[in-house]
Structures are given as structure tokens and as C-alpha cells.
Structure 1
């Protein structure tokens, strides 16, 4: 069977454009696209998803390879995938922000550790909450919903150019504001309680000047913070679940779906 260059080019393009969008998601999405995930695993995962998505696509016009229009389409597909994954990543960054605020209130602002996933130093409490958020994400089937949203986006809009516009970037900005406000709300109960503890210790130190603020106040704030975290930790599932639902809504709007069932 003879295969012409035009047929071979058409077959490659049918899979190449979806691969660009899926690859963009795997670059910026949390858990699946973390630096700790081997590159070969992510590449094989992207290829498997592309093989699943390709039969769902309608017939698309074939663009001449390596032309300006071809490169523009590749850039648009990759950019859309990066934007979708970035919105989901903001949920985890909001959790890390909440943990950092709690750690600073406990007096652990200096306690930081190297995080190979984020490639930077992160606070201990923030890293702990991020690990819990990762487990919750997998327990809530977040990875399956991400695959569902991604495959549905190809059914709705196989061409990313119809989705990229001022509205998409505005939606991504709105998601950032919402997610970081949620991170602040996650830390606010513990921070408020620790503020009362510090105020009470301030009154005690004024009444008894012989009390050493460093030797007494720091252990007191640390112990109170750990107790408050233990009390407040069950609410992490509710807050994180609500943040995920908002992220799915923003991502569905950016992908042209409207809302996921």
C-alpha cells in the first residue's frame, strides 16, 4: 500500500495538535506534572491520552507543516494546555500559602526545607499541607476529572484558537484571586486563635516582666499552633474540595465546556 506525503502529513497532524495541548497540561498541572514525575512517564502518559482523544476529533483542515500557520496552531494548543494546568496548580499553591501563614504565626517562619517538586525552599507547615492536598486530590479522583475535562475540551473545541481570547485570560486571573483568597481563609481560623494566644502572653509578660519571651513565648505559640492545627485539620478536606470545585468551574469555562457534570 502506497502512502503519499500528504496522507502521512495529515495523519501526523491529527495526533500532533492534541499532543501539544495535552503536553501543555502535563507541564503545568500538579501531581501529574510535578518535577518529581519522570519525564518518560509523562511522555508515555501524554501519548496514551492522545491515542484516546484522536478518534473523538472531527475532520480538521490540514496545515502545511512548519509554516507560520502551523507554528501558530501549535503555540495556541500548548498555551491553552498550560493555562488549564496552571489554574489547577493554583489550588495547591493556595494551600501552601495557607500553611506558610500558619507557620509564620506559630513562629516557624525560619523553618524551611528544600522541596524538589517546586524547586524552591518552602515552609514546613506548607509542605505538610501540600502533601495532604495531594493525597486528597487523588482520593477525590481529581486526576480522572482532569482527564475527563481535557478529553471533553477536544470534543467542544478541537481548535484552541476559538478559546484563546481576553475572556480566557480574565478567567485565569479571576481564578488566581479566588484561590489565594481561599488559602487565606484556610489559615485565618488558626491565625486568629494564635493572635489571641500571643496577646494573652503579652499581657502575662507585662504582668510578670521576669518571663523570658523567647524561652516561654515560642514554645507556647508552637504548642498552641500544633493543637489548633489538629483541631482544624479535618476542615482541610472541605476547604480543599471547595477550591477544587471552583477550579473545575474555571477550567471548564476556559475550555468552552461551561460546567462539568
Structure 2
């Protein structure tokens, strides 16, 4: 090899690495398990960089454009695709955050706040527990391998240089609606129990006006909510992992 060509080759590899990092690194910064708020940003960026360099030899990347404007547009498009992948998975996991809020509301635990592992804002204690359990399930079931595979195989569906903004926006909207549907459907048993208990306590108060309904209702709602929560927690987490894996598989097919 001509030594005079070494700077051009090195420059070409740096540009290819920048294009790859725009998608891979951005997705890693947002994906559940990898992009949690409790992980320092430097660690997340370093992880994205290491993963980018590991996948770089097998990524189907085009020759970087020579024009600065075209290169910047390519970087922006790749970063947008990475945001789409990471945000899509994050939106699905947010269904557990909403579920915890609903369960806390109907069971009388909505005022029990705890730091959330998946969101920067506060959450109810049940939502924080669901978030931690979901992150643990992701790594226990090797779902993080599927996330990396989805990033790798996304190049077949969304090749570099193509940015279907309309399709991506529609998919994000569908994921948001799906997250609300999942949360409300899984919260149905809690809503039913809350309605039944409140109706029963209302009838009891009509029969016995001197009964302190609040002091009877609060412990009953908390006990019923926690009991159903413990019983349904394995099924909730299993269903959530299936939904997330199905979306990642559809992205990587």
C-alpha cells in the first residue's frame, strides 16, 4: 500500500465510524437497559462507541459523501433512525410506568413516590418497581442481544441515506397508542376490584351511617391492590417482554 494514501484511508474510516455511531450510539443512548438515566452519560457514550467499532466491519455503509452538507445530512438521518429505534422500545416500556400509576391510583398508593429507573421524573412506588423488574427481565432473558440484533438488521429495512419520516412518525404514534392500550388492559383487574370494593363500601355506609368508611376502605383497597399486583406481576412482565421482542423482531426481519 502506498504510504501517501494512509491519511485518506484513515479519514475514510473515521467518517464511516461517525456515520455508524450516529445510528448505533444514538439508539444505545435511548434503549431500555442501556440508556437509563442512572447510567452516567460517559458510560453510555463509551458503550455506544465500543459497540459501533465492533459492528463497523459488517455494517453495510455507503461511501461517505465528500460534500460537508451531504455528510451532515447523512449523519442527521442516521441519528434520526437511531432515535426511532431507541424511542420505540422506550415507549413500549413506558406502558409499565403508566400501569404502575394506574394501579397506585386505584389502590391508594399514588402518594408513595420513589425514584424511577426508566424515567427522569418521579414515579409511584409500584411504577418504580415495575421499571426495575422490566430492566432486570431484559438482561435475564437476553433481550438486550435482540436489541443489538435489531440495530444491526435495521440497515436492511432503513438503509443509510433513506429517512421515511412519514412511516416512522406513524409507527411512533402507533407505539404510543399501543402502550396506552397495554397499560389500560393490564390494569383492568385493579379497576374492577376498586369499583366493586367502593360500591360495597358505599352500600355498607348507607346501611351503617356511623361506620368510618375511609378507615375501612383504605386498608382494604391497599391489601386488594397489592394482592392482585403480586399475583399478576409475572404475567405482566412476561407479556411486556413478548410485546417488546415482537417489535424488535419485526424491526429486524
Please give the alpha-carbon distance, in whole angstroms, between the structure 2 residues aligned to 1:47 and 1:241: 27
What TM-score do you get using the length of structure 1 for normalisation?
A: 0.88
Residues 194-234 of structure 1, C-alpha deviation per residue, up to 9 Å, x if partnerless?
Answer: 22112111111111111112211111111111112122223
CA separation of 1:169/1:59 partners in 2, compared to 1, >3 Å: closer, same or farther?
Answer: closer
Aligned counterpart, 2:187? 187
User: Please, which runs of 5 or more residues in structure 1 have no aligned partner?
Assistant: none
What TM-score do you get using the length of structure 2 for normalisation?
A: 0.91
After superposition, residues 18-33 of structure 1 pair within 5 angstroms as: 18-33=20-35
Residues 112-152 of structure 1, C-alpha deviation per residue, up to 9 Å, x if partnerless?
Answer: 22336522111111111111111122222111100111112
Aligned counterpart, 2:222? 222
- TM-superposed CA distance for 1:72, in Å, is 0.9
**Contact 2:26/2:79, CA 8 A, preserved across alignment:** yes
Please give the alpha-carbon distance, in whole angstroms, between the structure 2 residues aligned to 1:57 and 1:133: 30
Please give the alpha-carbon distance, in whole angstroms, between the structure 1 residues aligned to 2:128 and 2:61: 46
CA separation of 1:76/1:104 partners in 2, compared to 1, >3 Å: closer, same or farther?
Answer: same
**Contact 1:91/1:247, CA 8 A, preserved across alignment:** no
CA separation of 1:90/1:101 partners in 2, compared to 1, >3 Å: closer, same or farther?
Answer: same
**Contact 1:114/1:121, CA 8 A, preserved across alignment:** yes
Please give the alpha-carbon distance, in whole angstroms, between the structure 2 residues aligned to 1:102 and 1:58: 46
* Aligned-partner SS, 2:35: coil
Please give the alpha-carbon distance, in whole angstroms, between the structure 2 residues aligned to 1:22 and 1:205: 60
RMSD: 2.0
**Contact 1:56/1:155, CA 8 A, preserved across alignment:** no
Aligned counterpart, 1:45? 47
Aligned length: 251
Please give the alpha-carbon distance, in whole angstroms, between the structure 2 residues aligned to 1:71 and 1:138: 35
After superposition, residues 79-228 of structure 1 pair within 5 angstroms as: 79-115=80-116, 117-154=118-155, 157-159=158-160, 161-228=161-228
* Aligned-partner SS, 1:119: coil
* Aligned-partner SS, 1:2: helix
- TM-superposed CA distance for 1:38, in Å, is 2.2
CA separation of 1:116/1:137 partners in 2, compared to 1, >3 Å: closer, same or farther?
Answer: closer
**Contact 1:190/1:232, CA 8 A, preserved across alignment:** no
Please give the alpha-carbon distance, in whole angstroms, between the structure 2 residues aligned to 1:104 and 1:23: 37
Which deviates more from structure 2 when the two are superposed, residues 70-79 or residues 2-11?
A: 2-11
CA separation of 1:114/1:211 partners in 2, compared to 1, >3 Å: closer, same or farther?
Answer: same
